[in-house]
């Protein structure tokens, strides 16, 4: 399990979780924040700790090929790692918002998503098309909210 540094908020009782072994935030915000039994996960992508991205191939001629299924799988894998550090799993996700640069990638995203979540137990979900994401090699970013069962993980 990934190591998580926790930082209690001085006023509202929430706790920020920062995972030093995961890609760092691009500004001052935690990977996730726990408020009571809820975990709010910051937007995440296929970015690796070394700053490169899963699902991206840069060819010798400089052309770039990007794969929505590989990037989606990496996003969900990164989500699993963050949740595990706070004592949760994908089964605890209750809401997900996904940002796609192109709705042409919606079927590929859904194919991977459906391997990890079921309609009966999966999160509510919104998918939004955006003009761009923080890096030109990103096709997808997602954020999530998870609910820990009562009495789980401090």
The 3-state DSSP class for residue 12 equals: coil
What value does the mean pLDDT take over residues 34-48? 91
pLDDT for position 35? 86
pLDDT for position 25? 58
Strands (E), 21-151: 32-35, 38-44, 56-58, 64-66, 93-100, 124-129, 140-147
Q: What is the pTM of this model?
A: 0.86
pLDDT for position 23? 59
pLDDT for position 26? 62
pLDDT for position 144? 98
* CATH topology for the 5-147 domain: 60s Ribosomal Protein L30; Chain: A; (3.30.1330)
What residue spans define the domains of the chain? 5-147
pLDDT for position 45? 93
Q: Quote the CA–CA distance of 142 and 127 in Å, as a whole number.
A: 9
Question: Could you report the per-residue pLDDT of 116-133, keeping only the tens digit for each?
Answer: 999 999 999 999 999 999
Q: In sequence order, which residues have a C-beta less than 8 Å from that of residue 49 and are 6 or more positions away?
A: 21, 22, 23
Q: Are the CB atoms for 64 and 52 separated by under 8 Å?
A: no
Residues forming beta bridges with residue 115, ordered by sequence position: none
Question: Could you report the per-residue pLDDT of 95-154, keeping only the tens digit for each?
Answer: 999 999 999 999 999 999 999 999 999 999 999 999 999 999 999 999 999 999 876 545
């Amino acid at each position: 399990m990934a190591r998580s540094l926790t930082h209690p908020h001085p006023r509202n009782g929430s706790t920020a979780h920062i995972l030093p072994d995961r890609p760092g935030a691009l500004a001052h915000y935690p990977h996730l924040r726990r408020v009571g039994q809820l975990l709010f996960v910051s937007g995440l992508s296929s970015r690796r700790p070394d700053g490169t991205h899963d699902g991206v191939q840069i060819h010798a001629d400089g052309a770039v090929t990007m794969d929505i299924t590989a990037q989606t799988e990496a996003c969900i894998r990164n989500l699993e790692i963050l949740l595990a550090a706070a004592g949760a799993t994908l089964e605890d996700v209750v809401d997900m918002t996904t940002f796609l640069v192109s709705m042409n990638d919606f079927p590929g995203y859904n194919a991977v998503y459906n391997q990890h979540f079921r309609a009966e137990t999966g999160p509510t979900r919104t998918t939004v098309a955006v003009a761009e994401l923080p890096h030109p090699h990103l096709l997808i970013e997602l954020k999530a909210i998870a609910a820990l069962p009562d009495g789980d993980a401090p």
